[in-house]
Structure 1
Amino acid sequence: MTASQEIRAVPWQAEARVAGVQKRTVRLLAAAQVVGGIGIGVSVSVGALLAESVAHSETYAGLARTAMTAGAAAIGIPLALLAQRRGRRTALSTGWLTAAVGGVVLIASAVITSVPLLVMGMLLFGVGSATNQQSRYAAADLAAPHRRARALSTVVWATTIGSVIGPNLADPGAAIASVLHLPSLTGAFVLATLCMALAALLLWAGLRPDPLRLARQQADTDQQQGAGTHAHATSGAPTPAREEQTATVGRALRHLRRSPHAAFAFVSIVVAHTTMGVIMTMTPVSMSENGAGLSIVGITISGHLLGMYALSPLVGWLADRFGHLPTAVAGQAVFLVSALLSGLSHGSVPLMMTGLFLLGLGWSFSLVAGSAMLTEATPTALRPGLQGTTDTAMNVVAALGAGLAGPLMHSIGFAGLNLAAATLVLPVALFWLLLARAH
């Protein structure tokens, strides 16, 4: 074996230049997640209050809150296709900037008391959630296979900071609104808008070279060398047209039929997000009906958010150490324990807190391991389209599940709702058994 062949035997992700770009990319993505996540966190605590103050109606306020979820779901695929054509840098910075524009529109809706502007602002602001979700895939573009889940989980973990700070900006925001002579609830969205604009600026200025484009150049080079042809690598070169032609959503979905592991990742991510959405929506209602105060409910929700994000680096390490598939399956087991504790709580705050924490942890297992598995099982040319389709599917199905959660709880109670959510694990378990049998 010649020296050049020995060098090429090393995975291209381990090359010094690529490894350096990967470290810088993950740090930059994490920083953008922190500041952008603060903006998203504002919507958790202040968004509903702003909607109700503008609409003067719970019905219209509910429509506005639904619009935010719809904005996140609708933009998933277009954002991914933009990444396919222009790279992660353009797609992610555009997503954060669009969300910042949504913040400006929301402020305007409160100033002139306009429901149409409120709904439009919520739609645009929801783009921030989709951008936040797709950022995790950018961390995996250049990651070595044995570190893919850890890189991805680092970006997921960074969301913890925003989810803690954002909901607490109501009082500082009110002070800012007073100085600017704006309605008091808009001050938090002034801060959110600035944070999202900063996230866009960070990625636009710093995400160079673009991780997705560099990964595709390396994939092209490896393919050409494998075919015995001469590769001409150029930094920052545009994606070949043939790559763009393969990057349609239809081709990405057809890949799911050809790749059982990609299909399993898709199903596990969608099921996890839906399971969490169903239980998370009605837990505060159940706790309130059993006499829990708002402070206890808030602490329980905070514990849930910690389960979702705070332990994600540990989850990423487990996924890389023991395999993406076993870790995703372990997430389903955590869901079952969560449903058991919450369903049998009968108003017990400690059981409810533990159950909701495990609900977030099960989501973390499924999302981190599933996202790494989806990336690994999908060719570079098809990744953005399939990743965006997965995020859109998980948001749409989770929104439908959350909408059905209220009537279900009214009919079968909170324990029955947890039992119904636990049954969502069955498709993932059956899929896993089929994969194991195929092996």
Structure 2
Amino acid sequence: MLPKDKEEALEGKIDSLQSYIHSPQKQKTLYKRTLFVVSISQIFGGAGLAAGVTVGALLAQQMLGTDAYAGLPSALLTLGSAGAALFVGRLSQAFGRRTGLATGFMIGGLGATGVIIAAIINSIFLLFASLLIYGAGTATNLQARYAGTDLANSKQRATAISMTMVFTTFGAVAGPNLVNVMGKFALSVGIPSLAGPFILAAAAYILAGVFLFIMLRPDPFVIAKMIEVTNQKPSNNGQMETIEQTKNKRGIIVGATIMVLTQIVMVAVMTMTPVHMIHHGHGLGEVGLVIGFHIGAMYLPSLVTGILVDKLGRTVMAIAAGTTLLLAGLIAALAPGDNMILLVMALSLLGIGWNFGLISGTALIVDSTETSTRAKSQGTVDVLIALAGATGGAMSGIIVSVSSYPTLSLVGAIISLLLIPVVIWSRGGKIV
């Protein structure tokens, strides 16, 4: 038995949580608070994500002395994020978003610290191991978008997703543009310059984890589960339940398909762009600028994307994603390597297409899952997204090494074009 004071404290906590169940006003207030807290954490998370993405391939290229494996860091990062997505999803299902997200960000910060040490001692083995762990930050940053939907109704879900992603923009754009600053800082303290951005990543991920752990109370997912259990009504219609389950499975498949294909294209082209630029005489500052535009385009359109997904429909915006990625691939393939304007345009369109695909696909996943299994299902889908990114990252270096960057961009354009018939077919030929 618990001591009386602890038992009373526990009962008070339970009563406090239960007060949300029958109070739409308290639910609405918590929904807004959750969006605010998650959005602030995304500023730090975005900085941690972007800093590592910008120089990961360059660091591996420098340590290995070849381009053939320059896509490997991205592959390892996304492979690590696959395992982390499953872990964070299951942790969130069992203990709530607060525990799952805070833990994921902390692990990501540990991985970034490992990358710094690997650069100092020039250990390629430690670099690759640390990049796997660093992937936890990427997975957590992505899964945080779900937290805003826990108390949102069906007409608010895409908008809630987009609101949290908008705030990622601030950190995501700042990260690449601090490459030179962090590089100089790293050199001043005896650390290789390319490890500098990972100093920022480590600090950003740890701050995001601490902030969520302290501020995400009460946990929106715990409240959502309690509401679902309370409002659950027994059903005697087995046929209706079967139809609903089939519809939900289809929605999950469609949502996952959208996000997997857009992730492959985005990661593949983005990963090799810094290497392509360095080969054409661009400096780290220019690489940071292009990647900054790209990552900004991944998140900033969220200001309107969520509203469009809720108003126009999930499939319409998924088709828009495929069309935008197709255009991005064609421009990247045809742009001269020394033309900054066309590279910025191509990478910006690449980010916008990814944004359309992620928000429309995520909304479909939320629409098609029940709270009792939602976080676990979301984690599983994010595993597929991460594995898709790992595939894109690993293949990108090989394709460029064997052929060229324009060839890689054309392959990305073709894959993105496949998204359109797949989505229409999956929705029974209806664009809704």
Matches within 5 A, 1:32-431: 32-47=41-56, 66-110=75-119, 112-170=121-179, 173=182, 182-183=190-191, 185=193, 188-224=197-233, 259-287=249-277, 296-347=286-337, 349-409=340-400, 413-431=404-422
Aligned to 2:35: 26
1:307 CA displacement: 1.6
Query: Where do 5+ consecutive residues of structure 2 fail to align?
Result: 1-20, 237-244
Structure with more contact order per residue of length (Cα contacts < 8 Å, sep ≥ 6): 2
1:227 CA displacement: 6.0
> Which one is further off, 346-355 or 73-82?
346-355
Structure 2 residue identity aligned to 1:67: L
What TM-score do the two structures reach when normalised by structure 2?
A: 0.81
Kindly provide the CA deviation profile for residues 186-209 of structure 1, in whole angstroms up to 9, marking residues without a partner as x.
665444333222211111111112
- Cα distance change on mapping 1:256 and 1:192 into 2, 3 Å: farther
Distance (whole Å) between structure 2 residues aligned to residue 292 and residue 188 of structure 1: 18
- Cα distance change on mapping 1:355 and 1:57 into 2, 3 Å: closer
1:152 CA displacement: 0.6
Kindly provide the CA deviation profile for residues 102-138 of structure 1, in whole angstroms up to 9, marking residues without a partner as x.
2333444455554444333322222111110110111
Aligned to 2:9: none
Instruction: Give the aligned CA root-mean-square deviation in angstroms.
Output: 3.3
> Which one is further off, 349-358 or 142-151?
349-358
1:432 aligns with 2:423: yes
Distance (whole Å) between structure 2 residues aligned to residue 427 and residue 316 of structure 1: 23
Distance (whole Å) between structure 1 residues aligned to residue 393 and residue 120 of structure 2: 31
Distance (whole Å) between structure 1 residues aligned to residue 428 and residue 42 of structure 2: 36
- Cα distance change on mapping 1:375 and 1:14 into 2, 3 Å: farther
1:299 CA displacement: 3.2
Kindly provide the CA deviation profile for residues 226-245 of structure 1, in whole angstroms up to 9, marking residues without a partner as x.
669xxxxxxxxxxxxxxxxx
Distance (whole Å) between structure 2 residues aligned to residue 320 and residue 188 of structure 1: 36
Query: Where do 5+ consecutive residues of structure 1 fail to align?
Result: 1-11, 229-254
1:263 CA displacement: 1.1
Q: Conserved in 2, the CA contact under 8 Å of 1:99 and 1:127?
A: yes
> Which one is further off, 402-411 or 190-199?
402-411
Aligned to 2:13: none
> Which one is further off, 58-67 or 363-372?
58-67
Kindly provide the CA deviation profile for residues 283-341 of structure 1, in whole angstroms up to 9, marking residues without a partner as x.
44555566666655443332222221111121111111212221122111212222333
Structure 2 residue identity aligned to 1:431: V
- Cα distance change on mapping 1:294 and 1:13 into 2, 3 Å: farther
Kindly provide the CA deviation profile for residues 27-54 of structure 1, in whole angstroms up to 9, marking residues without a partner as x.
111111112322233323454566677x
- Residues paired across the two proteins, number: 399
Distance (whole Å) between structure 2 residues aligned to residue 119 and residue 286 of structure 1: 22
What TM-score do the two structures reach when normalised by structure 1?
A: 0.79
Structure 2 residue identity aligned to 1:328: A
- Cα distance change on mapping 1:86 and 1:436 into 2, 3 Å: same
Distance (whole Å) between structure 1 residues aligned to residue 311 and residue 23 of structure 2: 18
**Aligned-partner SS, 2:369:** coil
Q: Conserved in 1, the CA contact under 8 Å of 2:61 and 2:69?
A: yes
